[in-house]
Structure 1
Amino acid sequence: MIQQKNVLKLTKSLGDFHYFPKPTNFNLTNTNMNLLSMGFILYTQFGVLSSAFFGVIGKSSCEEESIKLDIKRICGLFFPAYLPQYFNDYPYYQLYVFIQSLNAAMLISSGILVIAFTCGVVELLTCHIANLKRLLSECFDVENEEERKNRLKLCVKYHVHIIKMAEKMNSTLGNATFANATFTGIILAIVFFQFTREPSVKTFIHGFGWLLALFVISYCGQRLINESEGISNCMYFTDWYTADVEAQKYLILIIARSNHYLYLDAKGFGHVCLETFTNALKAAYSFLTLLLNSADDY
């Protein structure tokens, strides 16, 4: 889903300050995003370990219930599994629990890392937009008309550079963002369905993790939209009327481009924003209702 060469080009363009000044809070934002990634990974590992732990703890009660219901099922697993052969002896049972937990950790961690990387790219792009707005507000701090024109030319080029980075971001991460927005709703519905049937701490930890990841990426997408929409407002509150006609033409170019806000594209799912979060919850609720009705029929 993610093309490695395009990812390298995207990260390189985000950190390239050869032609344009470095945003004042770039390093702080980059550090915060690294901490966010570490937090996601730690939460994922904690969730896997706690799920395995609570599965082993609840194995005895699960086995007692299986005896009462006269059914054969393997208890204490990370998640329910239906296998062609029943086994509960050492070392086959322990080996299967280990493999299942390891696969869960790898799959969930890879998905969470993609979400964390996407959030980092969006936040760094938001930093560049804030830096552009700062440069625009400083264009009219000088009295020299030629210096004003040079600063405005730089802002026009910088704005084009930001737009190209946004397009590169969507072409590189769009499919992964679509998959995340789509499957997160399905995963939440399945997790909540399992929680309604067998309430447990491990199910709650799993569902809360996916819910938090979806909210974070939706919030970052909303910040990108809000920041890009503020470019034209930023120019409006400058002393643009003191510039000559030629300098004002550069402002028109920026205003024309800023009429179309920048966004994180989720392909067929739309633009990622807080509305995406609510839409995913609605989809999860609809799918959960379908699962509950289907379970009641049987």
Structure 2
Amino acid sequence: MMESTVTRLKRMYLWPTASVTSRKPAFFLITFSCFLLYGSVMHLIVNDISMEEVHVIETTAGQFGVLYYLTLFTIYRKGILEIYADLSNFTKFGKPYNFDKRNKQLNQWSRWFSVVLYFFVISVFAWPGIFTQSCEDLNVALNKTEVCGVVSPVWLPFRFDYKPMKQFVYFWQSFCCLYSNGGAGTISFAMSETIEHLILRVEDLKILFPKIVAERSPEVRRKMLAKWVDYHLWLLSIGKLMNDTYRYSFSVIVLCAGTLFGCIGYTVMKNASTNFNSSFIFFGWMESVFVICVCGQRLMDAFHSVGTTVYNSEWCDTDVDFQKGVILITIRAQKPVRIYAGPFSYVSHLLILTVFQTSYSYINLLNASS
């Protein structure tokens, strides 16, 4: 299960392997990737923050978001490993209907997601390194002395405007972008993939219920219903574990996405012809946010539809005890499983709209301040 995604996470030491089970390598690489965030923050502190520095705020917000995401994932990694183990275990309730086909499809989607993600991630640090003319023109226009040919303007306690120091800084910044953005994007798909596998089991649950109703023997039907209820409760417990594990990482959508998109929107509106780098950051983030929110919405709809499937079955023709059980199942199914993004919002289609509303407010604020 999730072979493609897990392989990439293992390469980044974000997922335990046969030889490395400790989280120390992951924390080391995350700390090593803080270089770009540190330099951007120091640049904003040392220099006077003006409207021309919005692109540095973009870098700061983006790097803070992905490093925050990676750190919380690593801290709560035990939870996702438990979810993965539960969803990979077919001894108790068997393999869900269409599992192999769906797993193959998700692996294919994972590969395509990775191709698109790394195209944007590589473009983020490759573009400034190749096309330095816009940076040099901006230096002339604003009488600035920023070092061109690096991913983002940074302040460091030493000079780096000469070879080979500039190349050293550029490659370190590039590693920061590649590991932090690539790792966060891959993790977001891994979480979304576990949600899709849970949805697959909910669909399997819905397929099983009409077979229970069709059983003629009341005794056999009661046993089948008891096992079905155990299956339902087990899936609900996995949904609760997902919420308890993912809510901290998903809170980055509420904390950073709106601010980041607002800064990107302002930067692109001011000078769309030279700010392709901002567009790459936007599409890289938006890909992950969109996948997470769509999967969260699908999970809510899947659990909610269990009650509809049960109600629409021919349960009226069964015995009274079975009918009482159906009523309780229908009532419980009215409360959907939600995965929260922080304490207030939950991942759904509505969260995408909320992010864009927040970003629009920041664009207006920045326009009013300029």
| Structure-2-length-normalised TM-score | 0.74
In structure 2, distance between residues paired with 1:81 and 1:33: 39
2:189 alignment partner in structure 1: 116
User: 1:30 touches 1:120 (CA, 8 Å); kept in 2?
Assistant: no
User: 2:121 touches 2:284 (CA, 8 Å); kept in 1?
Assistant: no
Which digits, 9 at most, give the CA deviation of each residue in 1:2-58, with x for residues without a partner?
A: 323222221111122222132213233333333444334333332233233322332
Q: Output aligned runs, 1:47-196, within 5 Å.
A: 47-83=120-156, 87-196=160-269
Q: Give the SS at the match of 2:340.
A: coil
Q: Give the SS at the match of 2:145.
A: coil
2:317 alignment partner in structure 1: 242
Q: Which amino acid aligns with 2:292?
A: I
In structure 2, distance between residues paired with 1:68 and 1:201: 19
Which digits, 9 at most, give the CA deviation of each residue in 1:116-175, with x for residues without a partner?
A: 122112111111111111111221222222222222111111111111111111111111
In structure 1, distance between residues paired with 2:366 and 2:338: 34
In structure 2, distance between residues paired with 1:63 and 1:85: 21
In structure 2, distance between residues paired with 1:90 and 1:141: 77
Moved more, 101-110 or 262-271: 262-271
User: 2:257 touches 2:355 (CA, 8 Å); kept in 1?
Assistant: yes
In structure 2, distance between residues paired with 1:67 and 1:164: 60
Asked whether 1:12 is paired with 2:58, we answer: no
In structure 2, distance between residues paired with 1:49 and 1:126: 33
Segments of 5+ residues of structure 2 without an aligned counterpart are: 1-71
Q: Give the SS at the match of 2:293.
A: helix
- Paired residues in the alignment total 295
Asked whether 1:33 is paired with 2:114, we answer: no
In structure 2, distance between residues paired with 1:196 and 1:183: 20
User: 1:77 touches 1:97 (CA, 8 Å); kept in 2?
Assistant: yes
User: How far off its partner does 1:221 sit?
Assistant: 0.9
1:226 alignment partner in structure 2: 301
Q: Which amino acid aligns with 1:100?
A: Q
Segments of 5+ residues of structure 1 without an aligned counterpart are: none
After superposition, the Cα gap between the structure-2 partners of 1:78 and 1:28, relative to the gap in structure 1 and judged at 3 Å, is farther
Aligned-pair Cα RMSD in Å:
2.1
Q: Which amino acid aligns with 2:291?
A: V
1:206 alignment partner in structure 2: 281
User: 1:55 touches 1:78 (CA, 8 Å); kept in 2?
Assistant: yes
2:355 alignment partner in structure 1: 280
Q: Give the SS at the match of 1:143.
A: coil
In structure 2, distance between residues paired with 1:113 and 1:208: 15
Q: Give the SS at the match of 2:154.
A: coil
User: 1:114 touches 1:176 (CA, 8 Å); kept in 2?
Assistant: no
